[in-house]
Amino acid sequence: MTVFHYPGLYLCFISQHLKKIFEYRLSFFIGIIPFILLQLSAIVVIWVIFKKVPHIAGFSFDEVLFVYGLGIVCYAFGRMVFSNLNNFGYRYIIKGELDAILTKPINPLFHILATDFSEKEIGELFVGIILIIKSIIGLKIHFGILELLALLYFLLNGIIIYGSINLIAVIICFWTKDIQGLTSPIMRIQEFSQYPVTIYGKAIRFVITWIIPFAFISFFPAVFFIRKEEFIGYIICIPLIGIIFPLIAYLLWLKGLSRYESSGT
């Protein structure tokens, strides 16, 4: 199977997930409500903070919302597409379901990602889109076709970086044979990146910029539209991180796959 067959095959997998959603529509809408409320509560907290202070580290309310909105869209879409990685350690290593996948004539990582699709984050996705639109209007950002293309690129790039971080977090399961790998601690660090990184100390900024590059998912793409000159050096690095980090993640995946030992179950 060539690489050109994968988009169509992925659409076939997604269509099956969508059929399940439409079959249980009430369950779907009930399922997304908690995720929407969670994001709305976080937005209320930000709003309360800005009622007390006009700026945080020089960033206005709409600027923070713009960063937060970009983050929500990338993380929500990333969790939808890469949701099966959350079960990787238990399902594929401990239970041995990876054995069956390795016998199929398609890329095993593609098969794992396409097998599951989390629809619960769709509500968060819409909240993020609304925040982005609201912030663009509030900040009076000039938004033409080039800006739209740039935004779409940054969102796609952010989703790929998020997926790469997730993949690296679970690859350790090949060696440790545990359930979650490093997913839990790494995803906790993610919370720091949903706000301007300039509010943190140098150590945290370094970690979420160069070690676990969450800052390249939402913050640096956001400042491209609002403070380009101030962060131009980091903005130039966005496409580089979007290429290098996924490449590192995939090479580590291949290394882990070569170490895989069947559970025999």
- 145-199 pLDDT tens trace: 999 999 999 999 999 999 999 999 999 988 888 777 788 888 888 888 888 999 9
- Give the pLDDT band of residue 32 (cuts 50, 70, 90): confident
What integer best gives the mean pLDDT of the chain?
Answer: 90
At 106-120, the pLDDT tens digits run: 899 999 999 888 888
% of the chain at pLDDT higher than 90: 57
Residue closest to 239 by CA, chosen among 146, 156, 165, 168:
156
Q: What is the pLDDT of residue 25?
A: 76
Let me know: does 204 contact 214? Beta carbons within 8 Å. no
At 68-102, the pLDDT tens digits run: 999 999 999 999 999 989 889 888 988 888 998 99
Asked whether the predicted pLDDT for residue 265 surpasses 60, the reply is no
Asked whether the predicted pLDDT for residue 103 surpasses 80, the reply is yes
Domain boundary assignment for the chain = 19-258
Long-range contact pairs involving 103-107 (C-beta distance under 8 Å, separation at least 24): 105/1, 106/1, 106/6, 106/9, 107/6
Q: What is the pLDDT of residue 209?
A: 94
- Give the pLDDT band of residue 248 (cuts 50, 70, 90): very high
Asked whether the predicted pLDDT for residue 238 surpasses 90, the reply is yes
Let me know: does 117 contact 83? Beta carbons within 8 Å. yes
Asked whether the predicted pLDDT for residue 40 surpasses 80, the reply is yes
- Give the pLDDT band of residue 263 (cuts 50, 70, 90): low
Q: Calculate mean pLDDT across residues 42-61.
A: 90
Three-class HEC string of the chain: CCHHHHHHHHHHHHHHHHHHHHHCHHHHHHHHHHHHHHHHHHHHHHHHHHHHCCCECCECHHHHHHHHHHHHHHHHHHHHHCHHHHHHHHHHHHCCCHHHHHCCCCCHHHHHHHHCCCHHHHHHHHHHHHHHHHHHHHHCCCCCHHHHHHHHHHHHHHHHHHHHHHHHHHHCHHHHCCCCCCHHHHHHHHHHHHCCHHHCCHHHHHHHHHHCCHHHCCHHHHHHHHCCCCCHHHHHHHHHHHHHHHHHHHHHHHHHHHCCCCCCC
Asked whether the predicted pLDDT for residue 259 surpasses 60, the reply is yes
Q: Which residues, 6 or more positions from 192, have their beta carbon under 8 angstroms from its beta carbon?
A: 200, 204, 208, 214
Q: What is the pLDDT of residue 23?
A: 77
Q: What is the pLDDT of residue 1?
A: 64
Q: What is the pLDDT of residue 242?
A: 96
Q: What is the pLDDT of residue 264?
A: 55
